[in-house]
Structure 1
C-alpha cells in the first residue's frame, strides 16, 4: 500500500503502461514528423539569376554592383556609418548566401536547343563558381514547374544540368532544386519519384536530391475538398523538402488582386505565409518570404526610396519569423543586409540579458520559459551565422536548435 501523500506505485505503473501501449505509434510518428528546428544554417536570402545571365563570376559581380550602388546613391536611408561598414564588409566577403539559377519565370520559354545550351553552360559555370575561394554556401536551380505545358521541358533541363555538373564535380551539400507553382500533393510525389530516378541514374546517394516547394497558387493552400495541402505536401516529400518558399506575385495574381496592390504585406500574403509557418513548425523545414518587384534602379531618389521600402519589408518579415526572402537585383543586397544586421543587433543586449537571467534563475519582469530560451539562443545563432553578430555574443548560450528554420 502507498504511504499517505505518495502515489500508489502499482496504479501509476498500470496507468503508464496502458498510456504507453496506446500512444507508442503516435509517439513514434510525431517524433518522426516533428523532430524540432534544424541545426543547419538558413540563408537570409535567395538571389534569383536568369540562367542566360549566370556565370562563374555572378556572385562576386552582384557584390560589386551593390557596392557601386552604395557609392553612387548612398548612404542607405536610416542607417549609420558603422552599419554601412558592416554591410560593405559582408558584400566583399560573402555577397550572396544562396544563389539560384532560374529557368522559370525569370528565364522564360525558349526554343529547346537554347534552353539545353543554357543548362549545360550554367552547370559548368556553377562548377567553376564552387571552385573559387568564396563560393556561396547555398546554390541550385529553379526548374520549370510540373504543370503539363512545361513538365517535360523542366525535367529535361534538370536532368541535363545534373548530368553536366556531375561530370566535373560532386554535388555540394548546399545544392537545392526549387520546384515552382506546386498546386497538388501528387506533384510533390512525382518530384520525389523523379529525384529517386535521377539519383539512381547518376550514382547519387538516396535522398541526396532535395527540393524547395514554392507556394505560388491558392490550390496549394486550400485543396478542392477544403482541406489544407501544405502539411500533406511535406509528408509527400518524404524527407526531401528543403524549404517552403512563398511566391508573392503569382499567388496574388491568382487571387485577382490588382497589380498595384500585390505585395508581401497584403492580408492574403500574410494568410498564406501563416499557413506555411504553421505547417512547417517543428519539422526542421525553413520557410522563406517572397520578394518585392520595386527595384533600386534609376536616379538617386528612386534608388533610396526602393532601399527604404525593401529594408522595411525585410524587417517586417524578420519580426514575423521569416528569416529568408528573395532578392531580384544586386542593389537589394545592401538593404537586405543592413536591415538584417540591425534586426539582430537591436535585440542583442536584451537577448543576452534574458538568457543570463534564465540561466542564473534571476527574477525579472519577464518570466521566460524553455521554449522562449530556445528562441533567444536561435536568434543569437542566426545573427552570428549571417555576420550581424560576432561569435562572442553567442558563446556559452548553448542553442538548442542553432540556426535552422
Structure 2
C-alpha cells in the first residue's frame, strides 16, 4: 500500500461554506422545478370519446373493431409487413404482440370528452353525463388511465366547465374514491392565470374532502398560439408549469386547433407541419426535467373504406407515430379504432428494433468494457428510459432485458434516474 499523497489547496473552508449558503436557494429551486421523471408508466396514446357515447363496453368495443380491421386488412405478419414496410425479422413478433395487445388492453388512456367532442348541451343533460361517467370510471373502464376533458376556463363556458369537473370528482368520491389512473385535461389554455385557477379548483376540492395536498393533477392542452408565445414575447407554456404549482402532469398538443389558429388551411393541418414542430419543440424544452410528460396530437385521416384506403391511412398514421417517437413524443391521440393496429405496430417496432443495441450498450457501459459507442451517464439514462417505456407498453418483456443486459427493473429505474417503480 502506498502512502496517500498530500495535496495543497488555496480556498478556505469559509469560502466553500459561504458559496454553499449563497446557492442554497438555487439548489431548492432546481429540486422544486426540475424533479425529473416521476417514475410512473406513461400511456402511449389517449382515446377521446364524446362523454355521452362512453359506456362500460367502450374499450372492449374499440379493441374488437381494431381486431376486425387487422383480420380483414392485414391478417398475418407478412401482409402487415408489406403495408408498413416492416423489416422481416420484426414482422412476426410485432404482429403477434399487436394482436395480443388488442385482445388484452386495446386502450391505455380513455378520456370522456365534454369539450369539442361533446359541445354545448342543456345543463341537466351535462350534469347527468358527468355523474354517469364518474360511475363508469369508478367501476373501471378497462383502460389503466381514464378521466375527462372538461370545457375550458374561458368566460363563455367557464361555469359549465367547473360544474362538470365538480360533478365528476364528487361522483368519483361517492362511488369509492379517486382511482390511481385518474386523468383530467384542461383545454384551450391561453394565460397562466387559467392554469392557476385550475390548480386552485384542485386544491379546494382536496381541502373540502380531506384529501392529501397534490392528490389531483391535470394535463394542459396546448392548442392556442398564446400558449406558445405570449404578448410580451415569453414562452407562455413555461409559465403555465409554474402556475400549476406542481399539479401539471402532461402537455398535450392539439393539432387542429393550433394549426387553425396559425392560419394553416385545412388540407395542410398535420402533426408534421412546421408550425406543429415549432410548438412541440417549445413544449419539449419547457417540460424537460420537470416530470411533465408530452403528448403529440392526432391525424384525422381515418382507416375506413376498402382495403386500399385503409392501407393508405395506416401508412400515414404509422409514419406519423414513428416520427413522433423519434422526436421523443412518446404519446399521441387516436381518433378511431382502426388507428389502434398501427399505433401499436409503430410503438412495438420502435422499441423492438432498438432492443439489442440498447441492451448491449448498457451492458458495455456497466462493465466498462467499451464497445462501438462510448456512452456517458446521460446516455445510459436515456437507454434505460427507452427500455422501461418498451416494457411498460408491452413491446418488450422484462425478462428479455434481464437476459441481454443483466438488468432487472430496479436497476433500470436507478440508471434512468427514476424513483423505484410505482
Please report the TM-score for the alignment, with normalisation by the length of structure 2: 0.90
2:125 maps to: 114
Matches for 1:106-255 after TM superposition, within 5 Å: 106-130=117-141, 135-255=142-262
Establish whether residue 101 from structure 1 lines up as the match of residue 108 from structure 2: no
Rounded to whole Å, the distance in 1 between the matches of 2:124 and 2:356 is 56
Give the distance between the partners of 1:306 and 1:388, measured in 2 at CA.
Answer: 23
1:402 shift after superposition: 5.0
For 1:381 and 1:303, how far apart are their aligned partners in 2? 32
| 1:5 Cα deviation after fit | 8.0
Which residue pairs with 1:300 in the alignment? 307
Contact 2:190 2:226 in 1 (8 A): yes
In 2: Cα distance, 1:389 partner to 1:81 partner: 14
Q: C-alpha separation between the residues in 2 aligned to 1:113 and 1:174?
A: 27
- Structure of greater relative contact order (alpha carbons < 8 Å, 6+ residues apart): 1
Q: Please report the RMSD computed on the Cα atoms of aligned residues, expressed in angstroms.
A: 1.8
Q: Using the alignment, how far apart are the partners of 1:367 and 1:328 within structure 2?
A: 42
| 1:269 partnered with 2:276 | yes
Pairing 1:279–2:286 present: yes
Q: CA contact under 8 A between 2:50 and 2:113: conserved in structure 1? A: yes
Per-residue deviation, 1:12: 5.1
* 8 Å Cα contact 2:364-2:370 kept in structure 1: yes
TM-fit CA distance, 1:81: 3.7
* 1:49 aligned residue: 49
Please say if residues 380 and 393 of structure 1, whose CA atoms lie closer than 8 Å, have aligned partners that are also in contact: no
Residue in structure 2 matched with residue 312 of structure 1 by the alignment: 319
| CA 1:166–1:4: 2 relative to 1, 3 Å | closer
Residues 180, 215 of structure 1: 8 Å contact kept? yes
Number of positions where the alignment pairs a residue of Structure 1 with one of Structure 2: 397
Contact 2:138–2:178 under 8 Å retained in 1: no
5+ long unaligned stretches in structure 1: none
Contact 1:377 1:402 in 2 (8 A): no
Once the two structures are overlaid, the 10-residue window that deviates more, 308-317 or 227-236, is 227-236
The residue aligned with 1:349 is 356
Q: Distance in 1 between matches of 2:207 and 2:17?
A: 44
Q: Distance in 2 between matches of 1:377 and 1:70?
A: 32
Which aligned segments of 4 or more residues in structure 1 are displaced greater than 4 angstroms? none
Separation (CA, whole Å) in 2 of partners of 1:93 and 1:297: 23
Is contact 1:48-1:100 (8 Å) kept?
Answer: yes
Q: Can you list the C-alpha shifts for 1:101-121, whole angstroms capped at 9, x where unaligned? A: 110111111222221221122
Asked whether the equivalents of residues 104 and 144 of structure 1 are also in contact (C-alpha less than 8 Å), the reply is yes
Give the TM-score of the pair, scaled to structure 1. 0.94
Which residue number in structure 1 is paired with residue 31 of structure 2? 31
* Distance change (3 Å), C-alpha of 1:402 and 1:136: farther
Structure-2 separation of matches of 1:14 and 1:370: 32
Deviation at 1:385, TM superposition (A): 0.6
- Work out the CA distance in 2 between the residues paired with 1:402 and 1:36: 7
